[in-house]
Structure 1
Amino acid sequence: MGRHMKKGKSYGLMTTIAMIVGVVIGSGIYFKVDDILNYAGGNVGLGMLIIALGSFAIVFGSLSISELAVRHSEAGGIFYYYAHYIHPGLATALGLFTSYVYMPTVIAVITWVGAVFTLGGKSSLEAQTLLAAFYLIVLTLLNIYSKWLAGFFQSLSTLIKVIPLLAIAIVSFFWKAEFPEAPAITPIPVGWGWLSGLMPLYFAYDGWTVVASIAPEIKNPKKNLARAFIFGPMVILVLYLLFFYGLNQILGPDYILMVGNDAVVHATELIYGKFISKILLLAIIIAVLGVSNGMLLGTMRLPQAFASLGWIDNPKFAKIDLKYQLSVPASLSVSAVTLFWLGVHYLVSKWNLLPGSDISEITIVFNNLSYVFLYLIVFGLYRKGEVQNKLTGIISPILAIFAAFILLLGGLLTNFKNVSLFLIFCLLFCLAAFAYYQKNLKRKREG
């Protein structure tokens, strides 16, 4: 998300790569392995291919958007590009969608995952949802009333989030023990259904659009941005492949599919025993909640930014509280909506309305489709001669657009009816937000 940053070039290539890796790696990979494996029919090689395809799609998306980030490094944020190149109404529509649908659904599901890891997979959905709500309220209060503590928690979670990945990945190369007992259910015939594995995978890769907000701080951005957004996703890809392969080497596909989200807990117990496993589990919980905290921190500031630009007609949202350095009403509105989406997630899970998926994955699909506007902008700049690099100006946008529609196809293959209905809801929300912008604009002109 676009956030205001201090002027001055302070990040070199290695720091930029580390930042991308730090933002993207979070909770997704810890609880999406079984979903990816399920869509791959228990075929580990096919699961690894899905992970690789997802990373390449993100490389091409990043390279495309880097052209816009370099040109508008002081403006910050992908919403500025929509407003500058297409229409402020589109920026408002997608900005409000991000603030009140896309990010809140992702935050709600990630926080719920933190609660699942805290209570264990055998706990009730009701208990998990209540604990997730408690976590969300605590994180909200931290981000509004104790920024120092929220910042400390964010730094701590960033430092430890890779430890559980490596703790499993490295050991797996030397692991010779038999797989734990599980009913033989693989291989499972999946046909083209393996494409649906890109949905949970994109959850694990979400956050890569950080390119738009860190551009102002990068030394020699024309050269280093392109390099960072090739090497950054490659580092993430290697870590994810090692973890995915390692977990399958230790537990076996059948056992992972049997225990689901608890697979990482079972693996650490098997390798390190219960005591060390609990320490690693605590590291995973902190990493997961750290992702929730970071996303909440950024999203809470979006409505205030949009109100200050005049995209939202709300003086209370636009006004920054000098004591807390943010708009308290705008921040609380994001948290309230996130709690609402947590309730929706509970109902969807309770009634199994999206088997093998969740509400956040569908908003991620819709959000990735919205990036097609950005890719078309870059392609248009290439045709005008403003972008001269063929890789970033034509090859990357075309492949990124192709990847966005493959992700849409994968989403529809999971549950055509319910996914279609939710995607239509996302579209209607954006259309309503666009109408809201037009109404505000008309009122200002008449006033």
Structure 2
Amino acid sequence: MASRLQPSRAILNLGDEFYDSVTAAEFPQTILRFRNDRAAAEVGLEGLSNEEWVRHFGRFAPLPGSLEAPLALRYHGHQFRTYNPDIGDGRGFLFAQLKDDRGRLMDLGTKGSGQTPWSRFGDGRLTLKGGVREILATEMLQALGVETSRSFSLIETGEALERGDEPSPTRSAVLVRLSHGHIRIGTFQRLAYLRDAENMARLVDYVLVNLHDDAPGDPVRLLRNVVARAARLAARYMAAGFVHGVLNTDNINVTGESFDYGPWRFTPTWDPGHVAAYFDHAGLYAFGRQPEAIHWDVMQLAVSLRILADAEPLIEAIDAFADLYQTEVTRALLWRLGVMPRGDAEDRALVQALEPALRATDTPIDRFFFDAFGGRLPERYGEPFAAARAALEPYRPRKDRSHAYWSAEPCSMLIDEVETLWSAIDTRDDWAPFHAKLREIREMGDALA
């Protein structure tokens, strides 16, 4: 075991009202398909051999000094605005906690690791395609500057799964993700539903101390922290052109880190109505409605905290979301344009000129930001971009275009390419295009960083 490993068991301080001890499924096979050595190096696990890796992340032998048994976390949540008190970790669990090289408390959580008390009628498994898709989403989002869970490990498990929404039987896998905590807005909602003020106070302190690097004891300060982080997440989604698809309160992490990828898409153009989930008939979580959706979710946290705090300061904290979002989306778009800020008024004027042009012209998002990086918009972007070009003219680049990435083509992750990458795996067991795409994404991330 790597000597830099800093194991933790902080979650146990909350007490067993917050989780259920569970046992991992036993799989017929454990074929290592992906290990994220970049992420492993941040938590002292990069030195594991492949055999050791599979033993921990396919067979779930405990990491020394961390949790002795996996924990299925309890929570509730609004799902498409309908409250559901009968959910929790149904096909995943918290496997381990450890510190990263920045001193942050991190969780290693699973997806597809077997049934738990919250599985209901599910089999607790994950399709291999679902695991591949999550890796592609998280790698792309990280490269585009979005705080996200990291796909840490993917191991094919040798079971044939039946699924109603894709060709079956299909291959199975178990995914391990590295996250800055797995505490959701729905974790707080459950305690409010139970009117459990004592455990709510305990949870507030756990989040403030372990996940916000803050002093304990103040639920209003916790809400302010979450509002700021959520506004940043919403802004980064928009600048990345990303549609999460299922922004339910049980899918919103109180660290402001994006996670839990089921249906997702990158929108090809700046299309506010673009949806990721085929079942989102009303467009509740469409691209352009994501800031509204995340704001609504954070309001549910404020409602939950009413058992500990007065309404007025909670409302004040929630009301800050809109201004915080405007600041963050401006910052995020300038970052993707590769230019240095000039001041609030000028920066917001640039964004106000840019968004209508993108929306009106159906310009491919990734192509536009690739061409405009550094602040010089090519002349072929004609009259609809005249105001944006004029607004962009005074800006200085934050980086030059000397990285090799700028000599190639823009890197995208649209649904057709996702399906092509999966098809190579599914029909020929050819993983080369998938790994080549990951190298391309990381090259882009290095160029943008």
TM > 0.5? no
Normalized against structure 1, the TM-score is what?
A: 0.26
Normalized against structure 2, the TM-score is what?
A: 0.26
Q: Whose relative contact order is higher, 1 or 2, with alpha carbons under 8 Å and at least 6 apart? A: 1
Tell me which protein shows more helix as a share of its residues: 1
